[in-house]
Amino acid sequence: MICRMQTLQKLEKSVDAGNYYEAQQMYKTVYARYVAAKNYGAAVDLLQSGASVQLRHAQVTCGVELGNLLVETLGKANMKYDTTVVERIKSVVLSFPRADMSVSDRKSMAKTSEAYLAAKTRVEGFYTFMRAAIRWCIEAGGPRRGPPELHDILAEYMWTQYPELELNKASPHFVRSGQPEKYAKALIEYMNEWDREEMDLTLARSVLLYLTLGNLKDANRLVNEVRRGLGEKNYPNSPLMQFIKYLLLTLERDALPLLHSLRESYKDHLGRDSTLIEYLDAIAEKFYGVQHKNGLQRMLGDFMKMFASE
């Protein structure tokens, strides 16, 4: 144990001294030795430490490489999902570098700028590691959609750190995080800065996304939080919002005919975005067992294949 701690300290000092590449090669050499001896506990400690220290020094490529090896090693060791392992994953995740960017900064950032390219590298590395970690959690016996706390961290990072004003990349994780209040805050920021003309459409998509997962409770909480945050004066008042209001009430009861009638009555407004129709088909199947096979279900299936089966 003392020898192992000395190795970790020596490698960390090498990174602290700026010898990032040399330290990375040493991490991988020691890792290979541990794995050959099936000393998976030591390998996990090494990789957790190495990934974290490289990331704290903004060495994203090196940190992600070691982080991915960490997740791979959890699989090799046949470790089962538990909170201790999740805390290991979180210690790496929380070491990722961040940039202090306002919503306005991201809205105006030039795609050829150094800051844009650096931010995109960080976010892509973060997403790669988190995707692998969530997949392992599911396969190792964790929550079937992945740990909500990891989806929460992933959604927040994708929303605040992506170098464009882009909510779609964060939304699938917000709705799996169990934190509709945080999603509402991001939605309000997005709608106020970018999408004021289609606020109702943005909110409708988000509500329906919750409902495709069968999560009526958080769909209602999202609406209430957005209404509270915007205030009654600024909250969108449109036929599409009326539809959402009636839909939420309909789904509280066994009322498939009413759902069909509601869709028919608002079909012109739903036609503003074909995704709404696909969401509603998925919702009808989730709540009432109506069988559909559409583009959304394929999309949701592809999304979950990145992590595991839904």
pLDDT in tens, 2-50: 678 888 999 999 999 999 999 999 999 999 999 999 999 999 999 999 9
Nearest to 55 by CA among 17, 4, 92, 28: 92
Domain boundaries, the chain: 194-310
- CA–CA dist 179, 152 (Å, integer): 7
The model's confidence at residue 219, banded by pLDDT at 50, 70 and 90, is: very high
CATH 3.30.420.10 fits 194-310, yes or no: no
Nearest to 4 by CA among 34, 35, 37, 28: 34
- CA–CA dist 266, 272 (Å, integer): 11
pLDDT at residue number 193: 82
- CA–CA dist 74, 86 (Å, integer): 11
The model's confidence at residue 139, banded by pLDDT at 50, 70 and 90, is: very high
pTM for the model: 0.90
pLDDT at residue number 310: 42
Task: Tell me the average pLDDT across 138-154.
Answer: 96
